[in-house]
Chain A
Amino acid sequence: MGSAVTHAPATEVPTTDPEPRHGPVKSPRPAALKRRGRRENLAGYLFMSPWIAGFLLLTAGPMVASLYFAFTDYNLFDAPRWIGLDNFSEMFSDPRWRHSVQVTLWYVVVGTPIKLAAALGVALLLAQKRRGQAFYRAAFYAPSLIGASVSVAIVWKAIFSDDAVVDRTQKLFGVDVGGWTGDPDLIIYSLVALTVWQFGAPMVIFLAGLKQVPRELYEAADVDGAGRFRQFWSITLPMISPVLFFNVLLETIHSFQIFSSAYIVGGGAGGNACGPADGSMVYTCYLYVQGFENSRMGLASAMAWMLLVAVALVTAVLFWSQKRWVHYEEGGR
């Protein structure tokens, strides 16, 4: 046993160790032990060092830098110049910024519930025992796998353009709008459609949640003569509410961060990057324009921190609201 421990001290099982490392130890030789502890820590930190370095260099460092830049005028070339809160006051008085906030909020408020409803609806269908169910699950999940890619956004743009599939179909029904992607008021709907189409991830989570609901509850409800809708409302929904909460939280945060699909459907390389007349100018899109097209990194940093604060607030509100509608098995927390 001794030699095995020597080569792999990390796998030592505490119970077989005459001197357990966890918990209070009354040690006869504290100095030696301290040394040993330090060495162990050192090894630990050494193994963690790639991650720590990555975190400090790639996450924490840039965040601190961006927090500093948020209070400066910084064009990437000249040294940042401290201007206090000017970026924030400029932001609030900029009509394009306010417009981007409106577009984003609209997208989140309309898109997220529809996406979750679609995910839950399909999950309910797929939760039943049927032949070929595995195939359907895979088929419905597939869009989420490929959905984040640039190519799908390009295809989407082609589908919703003037005289393309959607436009022609509409014309069959006598509706002629001349394509969605060129219309400042309609383009955002095509983005909502794109996010709804990618309901696979929340669907899988819903599916897992639905599988957890005890069958007896439905059997009891059947005995009591409750209908399908009543069962869904009084059993399914409360039982999956933790899962629902998780999905609402995740999808809301996700929606706030929409960028690539809006950037590509809205124009990408040609002309205005944010859609016709800024019709699909979501928050991150405007942030990108300010940062990379107008070289105003200070302002862009301030915008990024504003977004972080907004998402944190929304998250806090959701957490606060959960005690009103989320039911945990042990009677809530």
Chain B
Amino acid sequence: MDIALAKDWIQAIAAAMDTHKDRLTQLDSAIGDADHGANMNRGFSAALAAQESFEEDEVGRLLVKIGTTLISSVGGASGPLYGTAFRAAGRALTTAEPDPAEFLAALRTGLDAVQSLGAAAPGDKTLVDAFLPALDAFEDALRTGGDLADACARAARAAEEGARATIPLQARKGRASYLGPRSIGHQDPGATSTALIFGALATAAAAR
């Protein structure tokens, strides 16, 4: 993972959020308050601008900058959660160009920070349900000799499956939790946006 790939990743996320903002909002309309697409699109538009003016060459510092930008521009629960994920992952990187294993370890640190902030466990019908399987798939790919592009592609597929697997779950965190059993049958918007973020990573890595 080098700075050029990291920047391509942010650019691909911003494009994905713009393309899928209506879908995210529709999913949020079913079990939340119908603003997730607008919020994520606003946040990653700001992140794209931050990425374009970022002149240092350390991936970690870019991710911290993106996280801070998300916290300052998204609002709601998504801003602090995604912002904290990027900031924690960025701070965990100690080398300017981390190898895939170091990058994975940083993403795990990001997930830990999100779980600790939101107090969410797997199965609560949150972004954790896409984030965690993505990292496990990434790790499996590296263990079986895959390169960064393979690992990112498998992570993206696992995140997408994880997001779909939230459909039968009952929400226990966030606004969807107020619906109780009525939250069952709807895909979680946060898990869906996490799948978009991993999808963007796979797209950026495949284009190298």
A and B held together in a complex: no
